[in-house]
Structure 1
């Protein structure tokens, strides 16, 4: 019998589902929009229907299902709880899928999945101390220290987007807190932060001619526009990007000092679509910093691109970490 695995990436905007071989190679991938409204079972039902429609003919050969989802979450019950970036903030996920397909479902935060995917299938194969950071709609991380996947009491030990990098609390985060990294440098919050900067700065005439200033006046700022114009050399855009990167660099310095990694792998749409303006600037800032108390790790973009969490979900299904399995009480039900 040929074994297969299913990986699921539940994001704020899209859900990606893939069928993979025993070696972790994707055979087929499908994408659906993350439901914007519904009850606590709507997302699981949408995923179930898609799996049945797309992979029904091989389900008998599927050994396990892995899930990487935006969080926070309660891993013991397989429930996502108060996710700030998903419209249905709290929803059942692992248990309904396990009951439906009668397969083990290994669930984790999307960035835990990401770092595990890098360890099992990606850039981290030869390393014992790895961090995965996503800079996307939100900011998150997953950590492996001395070959041990860090989890925490509920599976939320990696919420680096909510570390405080501005004690003045100038910006409010989607979670309700103030001064969090995610409030300054995530795709969802960059337009608000950029607007705040424009309001505070004494702009010169050239900056007021910027398309970014016009977009601000029209209430039409977006992360995509800011980075697109920065690539074209727009001075106001570059000034905003420089300010954002101060917080990104602070976040990375905190990560390095906290976890002492050999390798930091970076993913997420904001970072991957703007590698020179984000990843290269972070790497340069970290190397110039006098605040790093350990040796500086390699900082590299993931080679999985948009599929990093999906590959991580496949890796969770293929080779589930023992300490994670112990936390998933729904597996024993």
Structure 2
């Protein structure tokens, strides 16, 4: 008797784009689509769009799909299967698990995107042979996922590793999108580096060369983007270099804090800001973090899963939901 081929759907909900992938029982991606994440609507808009895209693009495989995994921007409420008060999406609170499960008739599992990503690293990537791992993303926001002694950490609601909200500035000079002050994400994420650049232009002591940079004027006018800052830093613009060097210091402090707390064997780094600018994000972290940690230094590397880290995490979640998540959900069953 020939066994039916099992398929799995993985969903990556980001602040800018959402991606859906179909994978076979070996975790190989068969088909993948991408579309802008919705920023207007009600608490069911995101789920309705996901169902629409799945039925439109994967209808021929749906009968073979065993389960659906979701890696989403947070914060999350795993008990309710929803995102709650997200600082990086126009629709700040929305349901996911319930509507998809009801409409598709499949098991649906959800995790914060970076938590899913570290589970993907465990099954398919840099953490396959380890029991202690951290995944960190530098993208629109900054986030992390952590495995300790083989267990995926979740916390009381599923937000155990919102590392982007580690306080890195005790003077609380810049307000984060979540409403807090001094948070790592508020200074060094793709969305907030331009705000940090404006703060530097307005409040920090700068050299004449830095003030003569065209980017200095753009920063004062609030017209910079992270892409411009990193591009011009690679071209040795003095103001861009000043901003990037300050961001590097903050990133080193943040990553060192994560390593000191969780004692991982491996730290994989992903996200568009890091992947597009490895020499200004990943390489300085690899070089400087060992000088700022108390425990034995882990391997620090660019994620081998590339921009698909969260997608692979969502697929891994669908294929092999972690025991900590299953126990968490059974408490309220």
Q: TM-score, normalised by structure 2?
A: 0.97
Is the CA contact 1:77–1:330 (under 8 Å) kept in the aligned structure 2?
A: no
Please say if 1:264 is aligned against 2:229. Answer: no
Distance 1:72 1:216 in 2: 30
CA shift digits 1:43-70 (9 cap, x unpaired): 0000000000000111000000000000
1:324 corresponds to:
325
Distance 1:7 1:109 in 2: 13
Distance 1:330 1:214 in 2: 55
1:293 corresponds to:
294
1:222 corresponds to:
225
Distance 1:105 1:329 in 2: 14
2:187 corresponds to:
184
Is the CA contact 1:248–1:282 (under 8 Å) kept in the aligned structure 2?
A: yes
1:306 corresponds to:
307
Q: TM-score, normalised by structure 1?
A: 0.97
Please say if 1:117 is aligned against 2:114. Answer: no
Aligned residue among 46, 50, 56 for 1:47: 50
1:85 corresponds to:
88
Distance 2:97 2:37 in 1: 16
CA shift digits 1:18-77 (9 cap, x unpaired): 000100010000011111100000000000000000001110000000000000011011
Higher deviation after alignment, 124-133 or 317-326: 317-326
In the TM superposition, residue 223 of structure 1 has moved relative to its aligned partner by 0.5
Q: Which runs of 5+ in 2 are unaligned?
A: none
In the TM superposition, residue 216 of structure 1 has moved relative to its aligned partner by 1.7
Is the CA contact 1:95–1:330 (under 8 Å) kept in the aligned structure 2?
A: no
How many equivalent pairs are there? 330
Distance 2:153 2:313 in 1: 15
CA shift digits 1:262-298 (9 cap, x unpaired): 1000011111111010111111111233xx1100111
Distance 1:82 1:330 in 2: 24
Distance 2:324 2:205 in 1: 53
Distance 2:170 2:123 in 1: 37
Residues 1:39 and 1:329: Cα distance change in structure 2 (over 3 Å) = farther
Q: Which runs of 5+ in 1 are unaligned?
A: none
2:204 corresponds to:
201
Aligned residue among 60, 67, 70 for 2:70: 67
